[in-house]
């Protein structure tokens, strides 16, 4: 029985794919892994590298070769054939801490091991498994290395290894959103809800962190720093210069996520609905932030932002949402969105420079006080 399926979307990553795969196949319990490398029409020799690993590790590594369809299409191609009790996504330019991967497999094994009774053993399918596993991850830049934990101001409110009801966690207000790098899902949950990601665009990892939380019943936090998230690569999708050029793709994903909310929110508990509302408001806030703060002034187009206002205003009105955007430093208290909607132009350039300087100082202080 495979405990964990790992989906690895791959496009022109020949230089980094071996590091990614080596971090998996070198695990002591690698035979419990189902590694699905999805070659998304690479033009380099990524496919040949993946096939080499599949030849060397035929019971562990499997290759799906498909035409280019971007990130979401690779997840959609792999999920139907995943055989692990749980499934996690690993980008091919990132890697797992191998020692921690073994610890995760041991933990999953403890969850799914049949429970002995006086007369028989329960089957795996009859045991209540947590729908979501949440682990730490390390974000690695050119000169920085930060460990991200699901805590608030240094406080970790949940007992590691304990299974909680997801509503019980969300109502606390400590968790405002999840990120792909931290999440592992029970495979059967994704199949049950018919999970699919938007194809043809990047940034659909936000769907991975969102749609399953509509229906997940249980969650478990683990004190494991598994995912090593590499930001030190030219052309990385979250690099500011790439993000600015891809803002239309972000809008496409946001549109898909809003459509999903309006189609599925009726089934949500009051706690889940309240949490989701804040999550979606934050998604819209991110778009406004890109246009009103992050985007170079030379690239800013007021007509584009007017169209965004016109598109999302009816959705916000239907759901009673109010999108507000204040500086991250919490010191300069001017709402970007309200300022834009009143004046139809961005902040004065001198104020943007001042705000950026304050942001940098406050973040420096926060990291040294609260990040471990």
The model's confidence at residue 62, banded by pLDDT at 50, 70 and 90, is very high
DSSP 320: T
Strand, helix or coil at 335? coil
pLDDT in tens, 221-242: 999 999 999 987 665 555 556 6
Which CATH class for the 4-232 domain?
A: alpha beta
Q: Rounded to an integer, what is the distance from CA 228 to the centroid of its chain?
A: 13
d(CA 146, CA 95): 15
State the pLDDT at residue 154: 58
Residue partners of 317: CB distance under 8 A and separation at least 6: none
Q: What is the DSSP secondary-structure string of 64-130?
A: EEE----HHHHHHHHGGG--SSEEEE--TT-EE-HHHHHHHHHHHHHHHSPPB-SS-B--GGGS---
Mean pLDDT for the chain overall:
89
State the pLDDT at residue 117: 43
Residue partners of 73: CB distance under 8 A and separation at least 6: 40, 66, 197, 199, 200
d(CA 7, CA 86): 11
Strand, helix or coil at 192? helix
pTM of the predicted model over 0.85: yes
State the pLDDT at residue 147: 86
> Could you tell me if 86 and 50 are in contact, meaning their C-beta atoms sit under 8 angstroms apart?
no
**Domain residue extents for the chain:** 4-232, 242-370
d(CA 132, CA 4): 13
More confident residue, 108 or 332: 108
Q: Is 194 left (phi over 0), alpha (psi -120 to 50) or beta?
A: left
The model's confidence at residue 121, banded by pLDDT at 50, 70 and 90, is very low
pLDDT in tens, 292-346: 988 888 888 899 899 988 999 899 999 999 999 998 888 888 999 999 999 999 9
Residue partners of 20: CB distance under 8 A and separation at least 6: 8, 13, 90, 91, 92, 93, 94, 95
- CB-facing half-sphere around the CA of 65: CA atoms within 13 A: 10
């Amino acid at each position: 029985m495979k405990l964990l399926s790992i989906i690895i979307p791959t496009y022109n990553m020949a230089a980094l794919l071996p590091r990614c795969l080596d971090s998996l196949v070198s695990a002591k319990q690698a035979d419990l892994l189902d590694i699905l490398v999805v070659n998304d029409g690479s033009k380099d020799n990524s496919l040949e590298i993946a096939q080499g690993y599949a030849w060397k590790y035929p019971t562990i590594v499997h290759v799906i070769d498909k035409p280019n369809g971007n990130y979401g299409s690779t997840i959609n191609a792999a999920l139907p054939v995943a055989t692990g009790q749980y499934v996690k996504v690993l980008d091919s330019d990132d890697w797992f801490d191998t020692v921690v991967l073994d610890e995760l497999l041991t933990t999953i094994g403890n969850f799914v091991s049949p429970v002995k009774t006086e007369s028989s053993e329960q089957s795996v399918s009859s045991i209540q498994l947590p729908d979501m596993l949440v682990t730490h991850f390390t974000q690695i830049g050119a000169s920085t290395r930060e460990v991200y934990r699901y805590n608030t101001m240094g406080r970790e409110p949940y007992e590691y290894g304990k299974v909680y009801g997801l509503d019980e966690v969300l109502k606390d207000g400590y968790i405002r959103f999840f990120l792909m790098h931290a999440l592992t899902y029970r495979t059967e949950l994704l199949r049950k809800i018919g999970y699919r990601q938007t194809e043809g665009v990047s940034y659909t990892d936000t769907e991975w962190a969102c749609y399953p939380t509509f229906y997940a019943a249980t969650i478990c936090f683990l004190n494991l720093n598994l995912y090593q998230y590499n930001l030190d690569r030219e052309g990385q999708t979250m690099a500011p210069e790439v993000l600015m050029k891809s803002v239309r793709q972000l809008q496409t994903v946001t549109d898909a996520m809003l459509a999903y909310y309006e189609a599925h929110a009726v089934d949500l508990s009051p706690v889940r609905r309240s949490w989701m509302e804040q999550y979606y408001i934050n998604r819209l806030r991110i778009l406004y932030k890109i246009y009103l703060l992050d985007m170079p002034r030379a690239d800013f187009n007021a007509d584009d932002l007017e169209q965004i206002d016109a598109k999302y205003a009816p959705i916000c009105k239907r759901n009673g949402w109010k999108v507000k955007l204040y500086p991250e430093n919490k010191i300069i208290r001017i709402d970007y969105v309200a300022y834009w909607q009143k004046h139809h132009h961005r902040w004065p350039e001198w104020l943007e420079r001042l705000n950026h300087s304050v942001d940098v100082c406050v973040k420096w202080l926060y990291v040294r006080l609260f990040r471990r």
